[in-house]
Amino acid sequence: MGIGEIASRRMTTRQFLRRRWNQTVFSAIALFAAAGLLQLFLVTDETTSDYFLRATVLLAFACLLWAQVRTPCLNCRRPIGMGALWWVNNPLTAQHTARCPHCNVSIDREMPDRRDL
C-alpha cells in the first residue's frame, strides 16, 4: 500500500504519521535482515563484517528519521519537519493538539480525501 493509497482515505495527520512510521520501521527491519544475510554469506573477514553491520545500522536509522521528517501535511502537502518525530507515539503530545508549522491545522483534524499526495 503506497503513500497515495493511504492518504486517499479520510484520516488525521497523526494517523498518517503513525502509518508512515510503521511502514518505515518495517522497511528498516527488512534492510537489517538483508544485511544480515549478506554478512552471513558474503563477508568472510570479521573486521569488514563489523564495519558493514555498523554502516547498515546507521543507514537504516538515517532513512527512518529522514522519512518521518519529510512526511507531508495532509492539508498543505509541505513537510511537517521534526515535530513529526515527537507526534507519532508520544503520550505527552496526545494530551494537546499539535499543529502543522505551515498551515496551522491541527494534526488531529480529519482531512478530506487527498488522492494527489
pTM for this predicted structure: 0.68
Contact call for residues 23 and 5 (beta carbons, < 8 A): no
Helices and strands of the chain, counted as H and E runs:
5, 2
**Which residues are within 8 A (CB) of 67 and not within 5 positions of it... i.e. 6 or more apart?**
20, 24
31 within domain boundaries: yes
In a domain, 102, yes or no: yes
Kindly state whether residue 116 falls inside one of the protein's structural domains: no
C-alpha cell at 92: 505527552
In terms of residue numbers, what domain contains 42?
3-111
What's the number of domains the chain is made of?
A: 1
Query: Is residue 83 included in any domain, yes or no?
Result: yes
DSSP readout, 9-30?
A: S-EEHHHHHHHHHHHHHHHHHH
The verdict on residue 88 lying in a domain is yes
Q: Is residue 45 in a domain?
A: yes
Tens place of pLDDT for every residue, the chain, 117 residues?
455 554 456 788 888 888 888 888 888 888 888 877 877 777 677 667 778 778 878 888 888 888 888 888 888 888 888 877 777 767 666 667 788 888 888 888 887 665 545
